[in-house]
Amino acid sequence: MINFITRYFTSLWAFITSPFRAIWRLICKVFPPREFTVMDTPRGNVYTFRQSSFWRFTKFCGKIGLIIWAAWSTYVFVYHRPLLQKRTQQLEEAKALHTRHMTDLQTYLKKYNDLTRNLNVIDDKILNSKKLTDKEKEDLMNSRIKTWGELDFLRTRITEMFTNDEYTAEYTKLSELSTEFELTRAENEELKKRNTQIVESMKKISEADNQIVNLVSKLTTDNTTELKDHMKNINSTIASLGLTQKTLIKNANKYTNPFVGAAFSPLDFDKELDPKYQKLAEDLELWHGLSKLNTLLPLGAPVEKVRITSNYGMRNDPFTGELKRHRGIDFAGKIGTELMAVAPGRVVSAGERVGYGTTVEIDHGLGFTTLYAHLSQIMVARGDWVRPGTVVGLGGSTGRSTGPHLHYEIRYKGVPFDPSKFVKE
C-alpha cells in the first residue's frame, strides 16, 4: 500500500485529497472561468469582469436549490392545504357537536331534577296522606308510573346522545311549550315597553343624525371650495396635458404611499335610504380626493428665495445662440444653495445625465415627476422617500451650464411641460 502511494502520489496528503481534486477538475471542465465586459456609455469606460469556476458552480447549485425548494413548496401547498382545510372543517364540526351535546345535557339535567322532585312529592303523598280516595290513589300511581317512564326515556336519550352519531335533540313537550308561552308573553310585554323607549331614542338619534350630516356636509363643501380655489391657477395647465380635475381626483383617491396614506374606499349606501347620505358620501370622496391631490401635486417653488432667470419656452441657446426650446425654469442661486422637494415622493434617479450634469428626479405619483439639474451635490439616494421641504441637493453649475443656477422641470409621464403656474400657485 505504501509502495503504491509513493509510486503514484507525492505524499499521503496528495493521496487523500486526490478524489476531491478530481471532482474539482470535473467542475472546472463543466464550469470553465468566463470573462465579460460592460461599457459605461455616458463616460465611455469599459469594465471587464471575471467569473471563476467556483462562482459559476456556486450559482448553479443555488439555482438548483431554488428550483427544488420551489417544487417542494408547490407540492406542499397543493397537497397539504386541502388536507389542512378538511381537518379544520372536521374540528369545527366536532366543536359544534360538543356544544350541542353540552346544551342538551344541561336541559336533560334540569328535566331530571324536576322529575326526581315530582317523584319524591308523589311518594310523600302516597305514604303520608291517610285520607286518599281510591281515585286519588290511582291518579297518584299513574302519575308515578308516568314519571318513571319519563325518567327511563331521559336515560335512553342521554345514552343515545353519546353513542349515536346521528343524534338530534328531543322535541319540546307540550307542557314545556305552555311554560315557554307564558314566559314569551311576559317577555313580549317587556319588549313593547322597550320598543316604545327605542322609538323615542330613534327620534333623538334621527335629529342628531340630521345635525351631524348637515355639519359634515357644510365642512366638506367649505373645504372643497377652498381646495378648488387653491387649484384654480393650474386648471389650464392640467387641461393642456389632456387631463381633467375629475380624473385626477379619481386617480388620487386610488393612490397610496407612506406619506399620503392608503387608498380611499368610497362609501356606498342603499339607494332606498335618504339621498342626503349618498350626497354626503360623494362630497366626502371629492374632498378627500382634492386634499390628496393638493398634497401629491408638485405645487410651489423648490428654492427659498425665488428669482427666475429663464422661463419655459423658446429662447436663444446660451452656447450656440440658436433659437431652442427651454424645457424648464431656471432659478438663480449660488453654489451650495439648498434645493427642496415641493411634494412628497420617491427619488427615482440621482446621478449624472448628459447635458443636465448632476441631477435628481422625484416621482410624486399620478404620472408627475420633478427634475433638479446642474447640482453641485446630491443629498438623497435613489429609492429614498422625501417629504415637502426635504433638501434633495445643493445648487451648482455641472453639465451644460453657463453659471450657478437650478434648472427645474416638471414632467407628466416623462414629458416636460410649462411649470410656471405650478411654481406660482
Q: Is the pLDDT of residue 155 over 80?
A: no
Q: What is the pLDDT of residue 180?
A: 59
Which is more confidently placed, 278 or 303?
303
What pLDDT does residue 360 have?
96
**Model pLDDT, residue 50:** 78
Q: Name the residue among 145, 151, 163 with its Cα closest to residue 116.
A: 151
Is a pLDDT exceeding 90 seen at residue 371? Answer: yes
Averaged pLDDT score across all residues of the chain: 80
- Which contacts of 190-197 are long-range, i.e. CB under 8 A and separated by 24 or more positions? none
What is the band of 179 on the pLDDT scale with cuts at 50, 70, 90? low
CA distances from 301 to 280, 313, 409, 419 (A): 35, 18, 11, 10
Mean pLDDT to the nearest integer, 52-60: 84
Confidence category of residue 407, pLDDT binned at 50, 70, 90: very high
Q: How far apart are CA 206 and CA 199, in angstroms?
A: 10
Q: What is the pTM of this model?
A: 0.51
**Residue 205 Cα distances to 149, 201, 202, 212, 308, angstroms:** 57, 6, 5, 10, 58
Q: Which residues contact 281 (CB under 8 A, 6 or more apart)?
A: 266, 267, 268, 269
pLDDT in tens, 229-275: 777 778 888 888 888 888 888 888 888 888 888 887 777 766 676 77
- Give the pLDDT score at 4: 58
Model pLDDT for residues 320-363, shown as the tens digit of each residue: 878 888 889 999 989 999 999 999 999 999 999 998 999 999 99
- Give the DSSP letter of residue 255: -
pLDDT confidence bin for 172, thresholds 50/70/90: very low
- Checking if the pLDDT of 171 tops 50, the result is no
